[in-house]
Every structure is written in C-alpha cells, then in structure tokens.
C-alpha cells in the first residue's frame, strides 16, 4: 500500500512539472481590457433589440458552426466579433458569450464595444468595418515588473517591431510568435480586423507599436488596443507552442533564397535604374509646379463612443493667427469661419459662433456631442470644439475647394462639368436623407443653399452647418419661434408661419438643384423674380425638358406647391441634360 502511495505521488510530481513547462491553454482569456457604450440610445427599442439579438445569433453561428475566428453581420446594426487565432473553437465561443453578456449592459445604446485578451466584440448604427485607428488608443500595461528588465526590453521591442512589419503581409492579418535572446523569452501576438486593407493594418499596428513601447522596460507584459488592431507581449506564454506563426518569410530578409532573389531584383533594378531616375526627376518637376494640396483635418477626431475632441482656445487662436482676416474662409448666420493649421500640421476649419445667448451656451456641449456622431461621406465632420473661453468655437474638417457657390457664381464659375454637377445633386440628396431618416434623431438643416454645400478634393459634396439649430425629434412636426434660413431657399410655410418639417430642407434642395442646372442664382439682387418664380412662369421650353411642363403647368402651380416635385424634377432634368450633352 505504501509503495502504491509513493508511486501516485511521483506521478503527480511528474505531471505537475510537465504542466508547468507546457501549460494547457484551454481557457477563453476573458481578462477585460475595455468596455464602452454610446451615449445615445437607438430609436424604436423593441425593433432595435430584435435586430441586435439576430446579429448576436448570426455571429455565434459563424464562430460555432463555421469555425471562424472573425465574423461580421448586418441586421440594421453593424456588428463584428474577432477572436485570437490561437483560441480553440470552444474558447472563442466562450469568450464571445462573455462579451455578449457584458455588452448587453449597455442597454439601448446604439453603439458599444467590449475588448478581452481573447476576443473583441463591437456593434454600431453606422458602418465601421473600414475603421483603422481612432483617438484614445493607448497602451494597457500589466501589473508585473520584470526582474530582467534590461534584457527583456530590447528583445520585446524587436519582437513587436517584427510583428508590426509581418502581420499586415499575412493573409488573415494574424501572427503569434516568440523570441529567445539574452536569457529571456518573450511571447507576442498582433492581429488586425480582416475587413480593413493591408495598408490600414500597417497604419494601425504602427500606432499600436508606439503605444505599447510605453510599457517597457518597466513592465513584463503589455497590450495595445485600437479600433481595428490588437498587440500584446509577455514574458509568460499565453498561447501554445503549436500555435506560433513563422513570420520570417514576411520580414523581407534572411535565408539564401532571399539573397538570390535580392540579387536578381538588384540586377533588374540596375538595368532600368537610369530610366527610373529620369522619370522621377520629370515627375518631381511637374508636381513641384502644381500648387500643393492642403493637408486635411484628421476626421477620426470624433468617434461615436468617445465624442468630440476638446481643443484649447489658445491653440485654435494660434492656428488661425488670432482669427486674422487673411485666414477667413467665409461668414454666415452662425458665425465666421477661419482656416487653421494645428500644431501637428493638420489643416482645419474653425467656426467662431455668433450665438452667445445663455441658452446656446448651456446646450453647447450636448449639441456638439450629437453633431460629432453624424458620420456620412456627404456631411462635413465636426472634429471637436472649444468652450472654455468667452467664445464658442467649432472645429471642422477643411475643404480646400470651398463651397458650391464659388463654382456656380464665384471665381471658379463654369469649371464644373456635367458629371460633377450630377454627382453633387445626388450626393447632397444622400446627405439629406441620412440627416432626416438614417441618423437616430431627425436633424433638419433649415438653411440648405449652395454656400452650405462644400466640395472635397474630388468634388464630392458635403453639407455644412447642420445641427446648429434646435433638433426636431423623429416623426414630429414643430412650429419654430425662431426663423433660420435664407430667402429664396426657404419654404413659404416655414418663412411665414414657422411650420418646420423635413420638407423645408427638400424645398431648399430643389432650389439648389435648379441653380446647379441653370447656373443662375436663386435670389440675385439684379433679378426682378426669384429663380423659382421664373421656372414656374416660363414654361415654353424644349421637349427634352417636358417633365417641367408636366409638373408645373397643368394647374399653374405657385412655387410653394412645386416643392414636392423637386427631387423628381432634378433627376429628370439631370437625365435629359446628360442625354443632350452626350448625344443620347
């Protein structure tokens, strides 16, 4: 009996020592690194929860039934799950289930995310699949210090640098590896969302590498978490040896075969080197003679979960050269706009608000948080604000091409071709549709006009100045006590009676469509009639524009009653004009 006990104890010691050297990694790694909930709730919560639950079921099925480690779905909300590739199917599903349980505590928030060591779960009301790096990214250092910090730090940095180089070149954007040197072993992993591009993965991991450097040399482990990438190192193994990735082929060096390839490439490059140099000099000469394009503002400054960036009034004052007239881009009912160059070199547009009432100041932060969450390619992005001084300042992305008005009546008049005009009409319509129907509250602009439509570098339209007046809750009409608009673009029911609905913006859009097509200003001081009155009264036009006669003439409609047909008119005129220009 005694010999039996001795044998049992010996087996326990042997198995224990083996496990200490090669620990079993059958656990989901649900150490919480971060959690965030949007500050805004979704509308129609029963329908929202139904679709969110459907998204969670779909993601789980992809992980469990299809053995995936990365999955996306869209059920009126956009959702994504990403597991570390070294997790087993069971551990990945377990990590996901934990993330779902935690993310549900965000209740009706229209966006949320949970990050564990083993997985990352996120959902939003807007498409975020192409997001790469966002402000707020930072290192998350462990609590343990290393007894060999001097030896650990250079090994860890080299490992992380290799991971940031190799991972974007691997098809599934994942690598787990280890490095042994100077008597220490460091384990590391890097991963990017499979929905982004190789360059996006590289950009994200470059930022992650700079962040995670902050954990060295003091700590023995650390992580870097961003919108689309994850990086981790530790002096302790957190994945099995059979899960390591050979990243050597993706580093671009080492091995005799690589040297032979380099020699061949070098010979070819030498043969055409002179031609490339001549071509480069020629291109440099051509480009140097063109005016430089101003660097655009970083439009990732405001995110759905983190809100707008708070800028220092002093920094914005310096950026605009003390709001110098030479930097003035324009002026409007809400205030003047100035071009500003921030310390990091980004060019932005700074609006100095003229609204100084106590009510405006009280609502300023709330409205800014709401506007900064509006993400659409045809809407100007609000990056942040400053309200610490007597002036209220808004910081927007900068549009080098200025406003549509400049290209219709200003110094760039006549430069827009028909394809560009066509794109501007439909891009503006998409932006308005988003404000009215697709954002979680209905935003009515009230002042749609050519000067409030800005053009980016590719002449795509972006609506400016939305959300600076009181917001209208969804599916409700409103009688406004304060008129906000421009005569010639404003619907009579709003200008006269203060009756405010989404149709006020549709009316203004219709006027802008007519301006784009005709090249004539709606309310030019030298004209005796507004453009809209002229269109409604002059109906003797060619048959190619019969749609105008069809809608305007039968009952001699006033321009107030023409409103509901503007979008159709714009589309039909666009098609007719395009056919005429192309000989169709």
Helix ranges (DSSP H) in 302-437: 313-319, 358-372, 404-408, 418-433
**What is the side-by-side strand order in the sheet with 335-341?**
309-310, 382-386, 393-397, 347-353, 335-341, 328-332
Decide the pairing of beta strands 328-332 and 70-74: unpaired
Take residue 280 and report the two structure tokens written for it: 């480069």
Please provide the average confidence, as pLDDT, over all residues in the chain: 76
pLDDT score for 61: 95
Segment among 49-63, 156-170, 243-257, 320-334 with least mean pLDDT: 243-257
For 107, counting Cβ atoms within 10 Å of its Cβ (0-12 exposed, 13-18 middle, 19+ buried), the class is exposed
Find the helix packing angle between 45-64 and 89-103, rounded to 10°. Answer: 170
Query: Would you say residue 571 has pLDDT above 90?
Result: no
pLDDT > 70 fraction of the chain, expressed in percent and rounded: 68
91 is catalytic: no
Query: Would you say residue 79 has pLDDT above 70?
Result: yes
What is the biggest distance separating any 2 CA atoms in the chain, rounded to whole angstroms? Answer: 115
pLDDT > 90 fraction of the chain, expressed in percent and rounded: 36
**Tokens 């009688």 found at:** 479
Decide the pairing of beta strands 382-386 and 309-310: parallel
Query: Would you say residue 193 has pLDDT above 60?
Result: yes
pLDDT band at 345 (very low <50, low <70, confident <90, very high): confident
How many CA within 13 A on the CB side of residue 368? 26
Q: How many CB atoms lie within 10 A of CB 294?
A: 14
Segment among 23-27, 120-124, 375-379, 571-575 with least mean pLDDT: 571-575
Chain center to CA of 352: 25
Which one-letter DSSP state was computed for residue 438?
I
Helix ranges (DSSP H) in 296-357: 313-319
Query: Would you say residue 3 has pLDDT above 70?
Result: no
pLDDT 10s digits, 306-343: 567 888 889 999 999 999 999 998 876 677 899 999 98
The separation between the first and the last C-alpha atoms of the chain, rounded to the nearest angstrom, is 101
Q: Which residues touch 545 (CB under 8 Å, ≥6 apart)?
A: 572, 573, 576
Segment among 41-55, 439-453, 473-487 with least mean pLDDT: 473-487
pLDDT band at 44 (very low <50, low <70, confident <90, very high): confident
Q: Which residues touch 373 (CB under 8 Å, ≥6 apart)?
A: 38, 40, 302, 304, 307
| Phi, psi dihedrals of residue 313, rounded to the nearest 5° | -60, -40
Query: Would you say residue 496 has pLDDT above 80?
Result: no
User: Which domains, ranges and CATH numbers included, belong to the chain?
Assistant: 23-129 (3.30.430.20), 138-254 (3.30.430.20), 309-397 (3.30.200.20), 404-582 (1.10.510.10)
Torsion of CA 374, 379, 381, 387, to 10 degrees: -80
How many CA within 13 A on the CB side of residue 226? 32
Query: Would you say residue 150 has pLDDT above 70?
Result: yes
pLDDT score for 141: 92
Which one-letter DSSP state was computed for residue 109?
B
Which one-letter DSSP state was computed for residue 80?
E
Query: Would you say residue 67 has pLDDT above 60?
Result: yes
Take residue 313 and report the two structure tokens written for it: 């009034």
Residue 96 and residue 63 in contact, taking contact as beta carbons nearer than 8 Å: yes
Name the more confident of 227 and 496: 227
Query: Would you say residue 415 has pLDDT above 70?
Result: yes
pLDDT score for 93: 96
Query: Would you say residue 77 has pLDDT above 70?
Result: yes
- Cβ-defined contacts of 177-182 (< 8 Å, 24+): 177/244, 177/245, 177/246, 177/247, 178/237, 178/244, 179/155, 180/155, 181/155, 182/151, 182/154, 182/155
The secondary element (H helix, E strand) that includes residue 332 is: strand 328-332
What gap in Å lies between CA 542 and CA 545, rounded to an integer?
6
Between the CA of residue 90 and those of 25, 64, 83, what are the distances in Å? Answer: 12, 8, 11
Name the percent of the chain in helix, strand, coil, to the closest 5.
45, 20, 40
Q: Which of 22-31, 52-61, 383-392, 570-579 has the highest mean pLDDT?
A: 52-61
pLDDT score for 356: 53
**Tokens 């304060």 found at:** 482
pLDDT 10s digits, 251-300: 975 443 444 454 455 555 555 565 666 666 566 655 555 444 333 333 33
Name the more confident of 178 and 544: 178
What's the average model confidence in pLDDT over 372-382?
A: 86
pLDDT band at 558 (very low <50, low <70, confident <90, very high): very low
Catalytic residue among 117, 203, 447, 465: 447
Query: Would you say residue 80 has pLDDT above 90?
Result: yes
Query: Would you say residue 504 has pLDDT above 90?
Result: no
Query: Would you say residue 386 has pLDDT above 90?
Result: no
What is the Cα Rg of the chain in Å? 30
Helix ranges (DSSP H) in 289-381: 313-319, 358-372
From 231, 83, 249, 242, select the one nearest 160 (Cα to Cα).
Answer: 231
Residue 539 and residue 559 in contact, taking contact as beta carbons nearer than 8 Å: no
Torsion of CA 466, 467, 469, 474, to 10 degrees: 110
Strands (E), 166-260: 174-181, 184-192, 221-225, 229-234
pLDDT 10s digits, 441-476: 788 888 888 989 999 888 999 998 887 654 333 333
Residue 481 and residue 475 in contact, taking contact as beta carbons nearer than 8 Å: no
Query: Would you say residue 232 has pLDDT above 90?
Result: yes
Q: Which residues touch 351 (CB under 8 Å, ≥6 apart)?
A: 334, 335, 336, 337, 338, 393, 394, 395, 396
The secondary element (H helix, E strand) that includes residue 348 is: strand 347-353
pLDDT band at 170 (very low <50, low <70, confident <90, very high): very high
pLDDT band at 156 (very low <50, low <70, confident <90, very high): very high
From 197, 161, 158, select the one nearest 181 (Cα to Cα).
Answer: 158
pLDDT score for 81: 97
Query: Would you say residue 78 has pLDDT above 80?
Result: yes
Q: What pTM, to 2 d.p., does this model score? A: 0.46
SS (H, E, C) 125-159: CCCCCCCCCCCCCEEEECCCECCCHHHHHHHHHHH
pLDDT score for 441: 77
Query: Would you say residue 547 has pLDDT above 50?
Result: no
Instruction: Give me the numbers of helices (H) and strands (E) for the chain, helices first please.
Output: 15, 20
pLDDT score for 112: 92
């Amino acid at each position: 009996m005694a010999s039996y006990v001795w044998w049992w104890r010996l087996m326990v010691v042997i198995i224990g020592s083996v496990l200490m050297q090669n620990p079993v990694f059958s656990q989901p790694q649900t150490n919480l690194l971060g959690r965030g909930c949007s500050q805004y709730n979704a509308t129609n919560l029963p329908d929202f929860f139904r679709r969110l639950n459907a998204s969670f079921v779909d993601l789980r099925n992809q992980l469990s039934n299809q053995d995936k480690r990365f999955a996306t779905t869209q059920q009126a909300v956009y959702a994504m799950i990403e597991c570390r590739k070294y997790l087993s199917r069971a551990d990945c599903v377990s990590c996901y289930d934990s993330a779902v349980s935690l993310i549900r505590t965000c209740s009706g928030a229209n966006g949320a995310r949970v990050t564990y060591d083993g997985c990352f779960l996120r959902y939003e009301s807007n498409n975020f699949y192409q997001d790469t790096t966002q402000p707020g990214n930072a290192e998350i250092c462990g609590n343990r210090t290393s007894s060999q910090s001097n030896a650990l730090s250079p090994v860890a940095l080299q490992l992380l640098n290799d991971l940031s180089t190799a991972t974007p070149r691997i098809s599934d954007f994942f690598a787990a590896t280890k490095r042994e040197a100077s008597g220490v072993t460091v384990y590391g992993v890097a991963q990017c969302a499979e929905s982004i591009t190789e360059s996006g993965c590289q950009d994200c991991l470059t930022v992650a590498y700079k962040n995670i450097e902050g954990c060295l040399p003091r700590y023995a482990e650390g992580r870097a978490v961003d919108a689309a990438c994850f990086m981790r190192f530790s002096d302790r193994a957190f994945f099995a040896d059979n899960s390591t990735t050979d990243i050597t082929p993706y580093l671009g060096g080492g091995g005799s075969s690589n040297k032979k390839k380099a020699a061949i490439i070098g010979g070819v490059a030498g043969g055409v080197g002179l031609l490339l140099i001549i071509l480069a000099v020629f291109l440099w000469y051509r480009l140097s003679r063109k005016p430089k394009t101003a660097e655009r503002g970083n439009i990732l400054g405001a995110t759905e979960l983190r809100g707008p960036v708070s800028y220092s009034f002093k920094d914005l004052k310096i950026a605009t050269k003390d709001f110098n007239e030479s930097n003035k881009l324009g002026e409007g009912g809400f205030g003047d706009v100035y071009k500003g160059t921030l310390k990091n070199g980004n060019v932005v547009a700074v609006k100095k608000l003229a609204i100084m009432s106590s009510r405006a100041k009280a609502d300023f932060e709330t409205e800014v948080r709401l506007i900064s969450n509006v993400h659409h390619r045809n809407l100007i992005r609000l990056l942040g604000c400053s309200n610490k001084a007597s002036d209220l300042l808004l910081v927007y992305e900068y549009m080098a091409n200025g406003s549509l008005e400049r290209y219709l009546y200003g110094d760039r008049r006549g430069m827009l071709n028909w394809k560009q005009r066509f794109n501007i009409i439909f891009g503006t319509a998409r932006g308005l549709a988003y404000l009215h129907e697709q954002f979680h509250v209905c935003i009515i602009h009230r002042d749609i006009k050519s000067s409030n439509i800005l053009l980016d570098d590719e002449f795509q339209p972006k609506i400016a100045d939305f959300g600076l007046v009181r917001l209208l809750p969804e599916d409700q009409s409103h009688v406004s006590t304060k008129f906000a608009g421009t005569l010639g673009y404003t619907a009579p029911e709003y200008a006269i009676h203060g009756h405010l609905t989404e149709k006020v913006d549709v009316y203004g859009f219709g006027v802008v469509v007519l301006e784009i097509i005709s090249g004539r200003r709606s309310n030019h001081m030298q004209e005796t009639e507004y453009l809209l009155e002229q269109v409604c009264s002059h109906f003797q036009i060619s048959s190619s524009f019969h749609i105008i006669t069809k809608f305007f003439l039968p009952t001699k409609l006033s321009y107030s009653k023409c409103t509901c047909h503007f979008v159709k008119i714009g589309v039909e005129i666009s098609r007719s004009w395009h056919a005429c220009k192309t000989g169709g």
